[in-house]
């Protein structure tokens, strides 16, 4: 089985090609550049490099979020359109789980995080069990201060992974003291090679209805919901 | 050397080798006694331009010659033709000229021009052998060393039916373009045949969602596009009764519009093009609105397009397909934007245009609002004065407890907008002597504007026709993008996968 894995959920752009659980090629960049201009040329180039044609793909794997809204949508639109037009499987993995999967240590509690601005983070809590990454808490959008306090109830050693930790580490050190350590720098970037490996365990999603996990409503919707608590929503998009 | 091993081909922009500029420069270095005419950077920049085409000759995977042309049908100019020193006098240039000829026939060019140093007899001989004729000289055209240029022309004759070149035969087959439009709050995918026939045009509107907020929220627009994009694309293929194997190119709106919204269409278009090895065509949204009319009947040039929508108010002069010259535009609000704003003031739901138009049919112009810039000797527009005047009148009345007739307010506002739009359009049409006026954009659905413009054209212009798109093609839709894309398809204006959204893109 040939898998193309894509992660553009944050500043890092990572793509990987995996055949029958063997990594064939991977490209990961950690620069502030535009995913829209670079993603498709990078996929084309990497596939050419290893002589894979688009129609030889069997599965597309995508990091579904949370993360930067625009970044998520670029990767996810490319992924779902490829899966649709090539008529192949699309599998989606939490972008936090992908990051957590950088830490390979049985039984370890892992806290992946991305900065979400204004003192907030996207984060979760995973445990490696029998080679799988099991979520102990749901992925969430929360202030790093609150999250650090919440995690302290576990009273167990944890490792934090993610390159945005520098902005928030003071709270974790305060609340978790010697129970917490930070991942080595090179493990802090989401890697599509890990996503591709996780993708073999996942069930395919419905391509057409698949959308990113933003974990957060837009401000306009939050305000509107507060003003209209009894509206159930409904069909906001219709064919004309 | 085995001549059958020489490959001569047109470089497709969407799959051009990454270091093309440098490769061309290296080859040129060894072949010019006066040194390469361009730097590596210039080679790179020139070959990326939309109107530039590059024809190359390969032998055993090595580039041995090339020609660079600027192509703007019905004319073209040969910038450079170069053959590797080691392969000179072996007929490579003639092979290049044959390919140039068949390409120019295919894109309907009839004259090919070039300039050459007067002293370069070898080159002049080569050009004469390939049926170029001298038509003039340019004094001191060249520098380093300074020298006159000889200007030469070659007439490209189109072969008759029987002897059609391969290119022309390909060209004659039906061309089906899958077009995608996501520049604002409509997700739309269409399949268009030969730029004029709609095989399908599926539009999903998000208007109900944005009505909750009294205007378009860009982040929400982007989110809805992701929900819809593949679904709508599948429906467009189903309705056209085609599969992706029947599609010849993918077109997408690159701008202007909301950046996050544009990116969804662009990402999807690239993925489809890559998956099936199809050319990718970027389209200007405004060009799309103009070409919506091509889906009804062929455009007649020169034409003047009045483009009016929520984001645009422009007068565009076109001498031919794909040639846009903006002769006037709004200096502040777009006409549609003014409608939405005053709609809020008299309390009609967003978007206000349709409601104001309906109310205006029942009222009369009793308020005589100002006609912004109507008498000024240019083709620009301004609607902010009208908007302020309208808002002041309503507020004054409110303060005095005076009740104003809303239908008359709507009719007065509409009369001001329509008067200015129509009078400037007619004036420009006269000055430029256009054969056709084209109404385009969302506000083209406005009944007041449609009626006044039809009447004015009939009464004030002879020999000028008016094209007004059917209501279904006034709003944003992908069919119009497919129609405009066909113009680019014919001249092979394709791009690679680094295509990005251009929210402020202008017509050019």
Q: Which helix (H) or strand (E) holds B197?
A: strand B197-205
Give the domain range for residue B25.
Answer: 3-110
- B18 occurs within a structural domain: yes
- Statement to judge: residues B367 and B246 lie in one domain: no
Start-to-end CA span in chain B (Å) = 46
Q: What per-residue confidence (pLDDT) applies to B171? A: 45
Mean pLDDT for B50-69 is: 87
Query: Which residues on neighbouring strands pair with residue B284, listed in sequence order?
Result: B255
Token pair, residue B74, equals 């019905």
Q: What per-residue confidence (pLDDT) applies to B102? A: 84
Q: Which position has the higher pLDDT, B212 or A162? A: A162
- B155 occurs within a structural domain: no
- Statement to judge: residues B463 and B331 lie in one domain: yes
Q: Is A92 helix (H, G, I), strand (E, B) or coil?
A: strand
Q: What per-residue confidence (pLDDT) applies to B14? A: 55
- Which residues on chain A place their C-beta less than 8 Å from a C-beta of chain B? 34, 36-41, 43-44, 54-55, 69-70, 73-74, 76-78, 80-82, 84-86, 207-209, 211-212, 214, 218, 220-221, 224, 235-240
Please state, rounded to an integer, the average pLDDT across all residues of chain A.
95
Residue A119's Cα: distance from chain center in Å?
20
- B164 occurs within a structural domain: no
Enter the ipTM: 0.97
CATH of the domain at B339: 3.30.420.40
Start-to-end CA span in chain A (Å) = 41
Are the Cβ atoms of A73 and B267 closer than 8 angstroms? yes
pLDDT tens digits for range B296-308: 989 999 999 999 9
- Statement to judge: residues B398 and B311 lie in one domain: yes
Q: Is the pLDDT of residue B425 over 80?
A: yes
| Pick from B267, B413, B419: nearest CA to B339 | B413
- Statement to judge: residues B348 and B203 lie in one domain: no
pLDDT tens digits for range A44-58: 999 999 999 999 999
- B133 occurs within a structural domain: no
- Strand pairing category for A120-129 and A59-63: unpaired
Q: What per-residue confidence (pLDDT) applies to B159? A: 60
Beta-carbon contacts of A125 under 8 Å, excluding residues fewer than 6 positions away, are A109, A110, A111, A135, A136, A137, A151, A154, A158
Chain A residues with beta carbon closer than 8 angstroms to that of B475:
240
Q: How far apart are CA A132 and CA B383, in angstroms?
A: 62
Are the Cβ atoms of A77 and B229 closer than 8 angstroms? yes
Q: What per-residue confidence (pLDDT) applies to B328? A: 95
Maximum Cα–Cα distance for chain A, whole Å? 60
Beta-carbon contacts of B462 under 8 Å, excluding residues fewer than 6 positions away, are none
Bond into A66 cis (ω within 30)? yes
Chain A residues with beta carbon closer than 8 angstroms to that of B499:
37
Chain A residues with beta carbon closer than 8 angstroms to that of B234:
84, 208
- B138 occurs within a structural domain: no
- Statement to judge: residues B103 and B73 lie in one domain: yes
- Statement to judge: residues B269 and B383 lie in one domain: no
Are the Cβ atoms of A73 and B219 closer than 8 angstroms? no
Q: How far apart are CA B90 and CA B373, in angstroms?
A: 66
pLDDT tens digits for range B178-210: 999 999 999 999 999 999 999 999 999 999 999
Chain B residues with beta carbon closer than 8 angstroms to that of A217:
none
- Statement to judge: residues B448 and B308 lie in one domain: yes
Are the Cβ atoms of B219 and A208 closer than 8 angstroms? no
Count how many residues are written for chain A.
Answer: 240
B52: left (phi over 0), alpha (psi -120 to 50) or beta: beta
- Scan for tokens 């978790």, then name that residue: A176
- Statement to judge: residues B266 and B334 lie in one domain: no
- B106 occurs within a structural domain: yes
Are the Cβ atoms of B205 and A240 closer than 8 angstroms? yes
Count CB neighbours of B180 within 10 A: 29
Report whether B178 contacts B189 (CB < 8 A): yes
Q: What per-residue confidence (pLDDT) applies to B107? A: 78
| Pick from B508, B459, B504: nearest CA to B183 | B504
Q: What per-residue confidence (pLDDT) applies to B3? A: 75
Q: Is the pLDDT of residue B347 over 70?
A: yes
Q: Which of A12-21, A76-85, B34-43, B378-387 has the lowest mean pLDDT?
A: B34-43
- B59 occurs within a structural domain: yes
- Statement to judge: residues B448 and B306 lie in one domain: yes
Q: How far apart are CA B231 and CA B225, in angstroms?
A: 10
- Statement to judge: residues B64 and B95 lie in one domain: yes
pLDDT tens digits for range B432-482: 999 999 999 999 999 999 999 999 999 999 889 999 999 889 999 999 999
Q: Which position has the higher pLDDT, B249 or B39? A: B249
- Strand pairing category for A59-63 and A89-93: parallel
Are the Cβ atoms of B271 and A38 closer than 8 angstroms? no
Token pair, residue B487, equals 């113009």
What is the Cα gyration radius of chain B? 27
Token pair, residue B7, equals 């490959």
Q: How far apart are CA B304 and CA B324, in angstroms?
A: 10
Report whether B408 contacts B366 (CB < 8 A): yes
Q: Which of A113-117, B16-20, B290-294, B369-373 has the lowest mean pLDDT?
A: B16-20
Most confident of B149-158, B276-285, B499-508: B276-285
- Statement to judge: residues B363 and B454 lie in one domain: yes
User: A239 to chain B nearest CA, in Å?
Assistant: 4
Instruction: Using the 3D structure, point to which of B110, B125, B159 is the last residue of a domain.
Output: B110
Please state, rounded to an integer, the average pLDDT across all residues of chain B.
90
- Strand pairing category for B186-193 and B197-205: antiparallel
Q: Is the pLDDT of residue A214 over 60?
A: yes
Q: What per-residue confidence (pLDDT) applies to B110? A: 87
Are the Cβ atoms of B264 and A218 closer than 8 angstroms? no
Mean pLDDT for B268-277 is: 97
Report the domain count for chain B. Answer: 3
- B473 occurs within a structural domain: no
Confidence of residue B13 (pLDDT cuts 50, 70, 90): low
Q: How far apart are CA B445 and CA B315, in angstroms?
A: 17
CATH of the domain at B59: 3.40.630.30
Count CB neighbours of B401 within 10 A: 6
Q: What per-residue confidence (pLDDT) applies to A240? A: 81
How many A-B residue pairs are in contact by the CB < 8 A criterion? Answer: 128
Using CB atoms within 10 Å of the CB of residue A10, give its burial: 0 to 12 exposed, 13 to 18 middle, 19+ buried: buried
User: B236 to chain A nearest CA, in Å?
Assistant: 12
- Statement to judge: residues B286 and B373 lie in one domain: no
Q: How far apart are CA A111 and CA A156, in angstroms?
A: 12
Mean pLDDT for B497-507 is: 94
B53: left (phi over 0), alpha (psi -120 to 50) or beta: beta
Q: Which helix (H) or strand (E) holds B339?
A: helix B335-345
| Phi/psi at B198 (5° precision) | -85, 115
Q: Is B372 helix (H, G, I), strand (E, B) or coil?
A: coil
pTM assigned to the model: 0.78
Query: Which residue from A minimizes the CA distance to B16?
Result: A41
The partner residue sitting opposite B209, judged by closest CB among A34, A38, A236, is A236
Query: Which residue from B minimizes the CA distance to A228?
Result: B212
Q: Is A61 helix (H, G, I), strand (E, B) or coil?
A: strand
pLDDT tens digits for range B125-180: 989 988 999 988 888 888 888 889 999 999 988 765 444 444 544 445 799 999 99
């Amino acid at each position: 089985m040939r898998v193309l894995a894509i992660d553009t959920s944050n500043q890092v752009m990572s793509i990987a090609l995996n055949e029958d659980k063997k990594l064939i090629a991977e490209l990961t960049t950690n620069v502030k550049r535009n995913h829209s201009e670079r993603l498709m040329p990078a996929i084309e180039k990497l596939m050419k490099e290893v002589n894979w044609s688009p129609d030889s793909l069997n599965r597309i794997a995508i990091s579904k979020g949370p993360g930067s809204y625009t970044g998520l949508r670029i990767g996810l639109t490319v992924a779902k359109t490829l899966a649709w037009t090539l008529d192949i499987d699309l599998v989606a993995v939490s972008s936090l789980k992908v990051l957590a999967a950088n830490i390979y240590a049985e039984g370890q509690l892992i806290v992946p995080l991305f900065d979400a601005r204004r003192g907030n983070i996207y984060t979760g809590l995973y445990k490696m069990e029998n080679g799988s990454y099991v979520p102990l808490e749901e992925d969430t959008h929360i202030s790093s201060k609150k999250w650090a306090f919440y995690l302290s109830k576990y009273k167990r050693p944890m490792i934090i992974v993610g390159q945005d930790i520098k902005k928030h580490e003071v709270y974790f050190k305060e609340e978790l003291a010697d129970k917490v350590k930070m991942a080595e720098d090179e493990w802090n970037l989401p890697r599509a090679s890990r996503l591709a490996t996780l993708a073999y365990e996942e069930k395919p999603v419905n391509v057409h209805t698949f959308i990113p996990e933003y974990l957060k409503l837009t401000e306009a919707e939050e305000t509107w919901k507060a003003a209209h608590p009894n509206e159930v929503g409904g069909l906001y998009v219709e064919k004309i | 050397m085995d001549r059958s091993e020489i490959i001569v081909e047109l470089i497709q922009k969407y799959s051009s080798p990454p270091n093309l500029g440098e490769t061309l420069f290296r080859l040129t270095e060894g072949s010019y006694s006066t040194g390469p005419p361009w730097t590596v950077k210039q080679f790179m920049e020139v070959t990326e331009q939309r109107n530039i085409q590059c024809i190359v000759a390969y032998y055993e995977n090595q580039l041995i010659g090339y020609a660079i042309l600027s192509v703007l049908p019905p004319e073209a100019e040969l910038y450079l033709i170069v053959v590797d020193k080691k392969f000179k006098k072996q007929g490579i240039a003639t092979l290049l000229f044959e390919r140039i000829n068949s390409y120019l026939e295919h894109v309907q060019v009839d004259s090919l021009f070039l300039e050459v140093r007067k002293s370069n007899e070898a080159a002049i001989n080569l050009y004469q052998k390939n049926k170029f004729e001298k038509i003039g000289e340019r004094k001191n055209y060249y520098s380093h060393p300074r020298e006159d240029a000889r200007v030469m022309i070659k007439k490209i004759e189109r072969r008759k039916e029987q002897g059609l070149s391969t290119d022309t035969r390909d060209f004659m087959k039906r061309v089906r373009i899958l077009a995608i439009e996501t520049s604002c709050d409509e997700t739309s995918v269409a399949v268009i045949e030969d730029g004029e026939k709609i095989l399908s045009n599926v539009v999903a509107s998000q208007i109900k969602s944005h009505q909750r907020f009294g205007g378009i929220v860009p982040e929400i627009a982007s989110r809805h596009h992701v929900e819809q994009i593949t679904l709508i694309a599948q429906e467009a293929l189903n309705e056209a009764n085609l599969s992706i194997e029947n599609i010849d190119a993918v077109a997408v709106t690159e701008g202007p519009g909301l950046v996050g919204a544009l990116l969804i269409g662009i990402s999807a278009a690239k993925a489809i093009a890559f998956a099936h090895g199809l050319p990718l065509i970027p389209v200007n949204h405004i060009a799309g609105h103009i070409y919506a009319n091509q889906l009804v009947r062929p455009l007649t040039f020169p034409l003047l397009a009045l483009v009016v929508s929520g984001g645009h108010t422009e007068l565009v002069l076109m001498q031919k397909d794909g040639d846009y010259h903006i002769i006037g535009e709004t200096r502040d609000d777009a006409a549609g934007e003014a409608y939405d704003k005053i709609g809020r003031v008299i309390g009609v739901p967003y978007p206000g245009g349709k409601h104001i138009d309906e109310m205006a049919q029942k009222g009369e112009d009793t308020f005589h609002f100002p006609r912004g810039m109507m008498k000024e000797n240019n083709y620009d527009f301004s609607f902010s004065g009208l908007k302020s005047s309208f808002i002041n009148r309503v507020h004054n009345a409110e303060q005095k407890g005076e009740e104003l007739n809303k239908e008359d307010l709507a009719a007065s506002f509409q009369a001001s907008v329509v008067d200015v739009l129509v009078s400037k359009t007619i004036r420009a049409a006269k000055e430029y002597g256009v054969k056709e006026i084209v109404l385009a954009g969302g506000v083209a659905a406005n009944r007041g504007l449609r009626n006044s413009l039809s009447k004015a054209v009939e009464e004030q212009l002879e020999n000028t026709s008016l094209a007004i798109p059917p209501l279904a093609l006034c709003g944003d839709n992908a069919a119009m993008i497919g129609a405009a894309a066909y113009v680019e398809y014919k001249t092979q204006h394709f791009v690679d996968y680094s295509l990005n959204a251009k929210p402020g893109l202008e017509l050019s």
